[in-house]
Amino acid sequence: MPYVFEPRDVVSVPVEGNVDRFPVNNLYCVGRNYADHAIEMGGDPNREAPFFFMKPAFAVLSDGAEMQYPSHSNDVHHEVELVVALHRGGKDISVDDAMSLVYGYGVGVDMTRRDLQGEAKEKSRPWEAGKTFLHAAPCSALQPLSDVGQIEAASITLRINGETRQAGSINQMIWKVSEIISRLSELFVLQPGDMIYTGTPAGVGPVRPGDQITAHIDGLPELVFKVSSS
């Protein structure tokens, strides 16, 4: 079928130990999925459940690439997160069936123009300007689930220029991976290629041009990228 213009290339991320790449569809993100981060953002994890927002595939930045500092912000923050990549879709998936959708895991950073997000919150506006821009979703190579060991209690950290800024554990997640997939599938029709950024532990803060960011989860490929000026 001819198109009125040539469609853009599929966005993809590498797979550890495999020449094939993982084609990216939608990016779902979980907000306030770690109690200590909910508290640092002024929330109360006992009163407010985690929630979802999205980023487009064009936000993905691969390991080793340079992240362009976005326009319209002087306060771009890092949020290190476990990324869950789906190779199957569906709707109304039960918690018990949820893991059958998972292709593998990676580590990502939910980059956020915190100043624009704050303005959106204040004015009860959508979050896109805060959460979406080119390179707003750096992601490591993916580790296929069959090659992933126990990560339920793995440590998750983010370092800037070698200095630790975020340190937590995957076992602090309020909604676990299977619960996130099940809840998402009630709201949306999940599709192969969807990736889920599952929320961040405490310690979020600003990045600056020249910084080297290292995002790490024990047992998964590491993500390293440099921030360049806009």
- Structure tokens, 51: 């929630």
Residues 39-98, interacting with Mn ion (CB under 5 A)? 79
Among 188, 29, 186, 194, which residue's Cα sits nearest to residue 94? Answer: 186
Q: Does 200 bind Mn ion (CB under 5 A)?
A: yes
Considering only residues 107 through 126, tell me which ones interact with Mn ion, judged by CB under 5 A.
110
The answer to whether residue 198 forms part of the interface with Mn ion (CB under 5 A) is no
- How many angstroms separate the CA atoms of 209 and 225, rounded? 11
Exposure string of 106-127, with b = 16+ CB inside 10 Å and e = fewer, is: bbbbbbbbbbbbeebeeeeeeb
Tokens read off for 100: 């059958």
DSSP letters, 50-78, are -EEEEE-GGGEEETTPEEEPPSS-S-EEE
Nearest to Mn ion of 50, 104 (CB atom):
50
Q: Which is nearer to Mn ion, 15 or 183 (CB)?
A: 183
Binding status of residue 37 toward Mn ion by CB under 5 A: no
Q: How far lies 91's CA from each of 25, 165, 178, in Å?
A: 16, 37, 13
Instruction: Kindly determine how many residues on this chain lie close enough to bind Mn ion according to the rule CB under 5 A.
Output: 3
Binding window for Mn ion (CB under 5 A); candidates: 92-100, 160-168, 192-200, 208-216: 192-200
Nearer to Mn ion, 28 or 69 (CB): 28
Minimum separation from the CB atom of position 20 to Mn ion (A):
28
User: Which CB, 15 or 213, lies closer to Mn ion?
Assistant: 213
What's the closest the beta carbon of residue 7 comes to Mn ion, in angstroms?
29
Q: Give contact residues for Mn ion (rule: CB under 5 A).
A: 79, 110, 200
